Amino acid sequence: MYNKYSLIVALFIAIIFSCQDPIDVELSPTNGQVNVDAWLTDQSETQVIKLRRVSPYFDSSPSPIITGATVTVVDDLGNTFEFEETNQTGNYTWTPTAGETLGEVGRQFFLNIDINGKQYISSSTMNRIMPIDSLVSTFLEEEFGQAEGYYAELFARDFPGVGDTYWIKTFKNGEFLNKAREISIVYDAAFTAGGGVDGVTFIAPIRQSVNRSPDLDDESEDSFDVAPWAAGDSIRVEIHSINQGAFSFLEESFTQMTLGDAALFAEPPANVPTNIIPVNVDDPADEAVGFFNVSAVSQTGYIIQ
């Protein structure tokens, strides 16, 4: 009996180790789709639309830029905003005069892009945004899983009525916290649709999402050794109103960038949803990815004393 059991265990171990051989995956070359990064706001500051080409999966070099395009945004009142390219960088900007903005809540905006005669269009409505009630920071003593230091919390109340979606952006000493794990999106006052939480203050995990998230892949940075904030740090938080398509785009992006490799039965990566529509494009190489959204913004900040 013992010998039979030992044989089964040995066979099982042999099977496990036999699965360790590397497998070379041959990927098809990228088709260089157009990548549109167009996240605009109602703030009286330079607005930027970035045009790039999709790079091959294993290519870590910067994405190829798209120069010489014509980029305009038109609102539903007929106002036209011309986005001019900056020094052949693939970045197209519109700079308002003092106090000028793209528009106000409720306006609908239409994006038009012409790349060598190929047209791409999209649309977005600027949704409502609530004022921020408060942004507080609290000094906490060291305990298991928590370094000594300051921890921030954002208080804001969702509008009554199901379907409002938001993107919370946090800036530390002027730098946007842009790790994949730091994407903080809100559906009404919770994480997802159907949560049954509406018209109330954001739930606690969302309020606390304004704290820095250590890079778990960086061995030089320990999640438990460094508090998110210290005295003298500048903290600024923005809440952007986004449409539900933008919420889905960010939600899927977060899932693929943070959970795809860890999930036991994860689905293979795929392009996330896009609202960029090619008009007269027949070649798959000229299809588009990316997103266009126009947000209203509430913001607050201070220096931690």
Secondary structure of 241-290 in HEC code, one letter for each residue: EECHHHHHHHHHHHHHHHCCCCCCCCCCCCCCCCCCEECCCCCHHHCEEE
Domain ranges of the chain: 34-127+274-296, 132-242
Which pLDDT value is given to residue 91? Answer: 98
Which pLDDT value is given to residue 62? Answer: 80
Which pLDDT value is given to residue 14? Answer: 52
Which pLDDT value is given to residue 256? Answer: 87
Quote the longest CA-to-CA distance of the chain.
86
Distances in Å between the Cα of 24 and the Cα atoms of 27, 174, 181, 184, 263 are 10, 42, 29, 36, 21
Asked if 140 and 149 count as a contact pair (C-beta separation under 8 A), the reply is yes
DSSP at 146: B
Asked if 237 and 154 count as a contact pair (C-beta separation under 8 A), the reply is yes
Q: Which CATH architecture has domain 34-127+274-296?
A: Sandwich (2.60)
Mean pLDDT in runs of 10 for the chain (305 residues)?
49 51 51 91 98 78 91 98 97 95 97 96 98 97 90 98 97 95 96 91 97 66 76 98 97 84 55 91 86 98 96
Asked if 290 and 136 count as a contact pair (C-beta separation under 8 A), the reply is no
Q: Which residue has the tokens 């304004």?
A: 210
Which pLDDT value is given to residue 11? Answer: 53
Asked if 136 and 150 count as a contact pair (C-beta separation under 8 A), the reply is no
How is residue 119 written in tokens?
């047209």
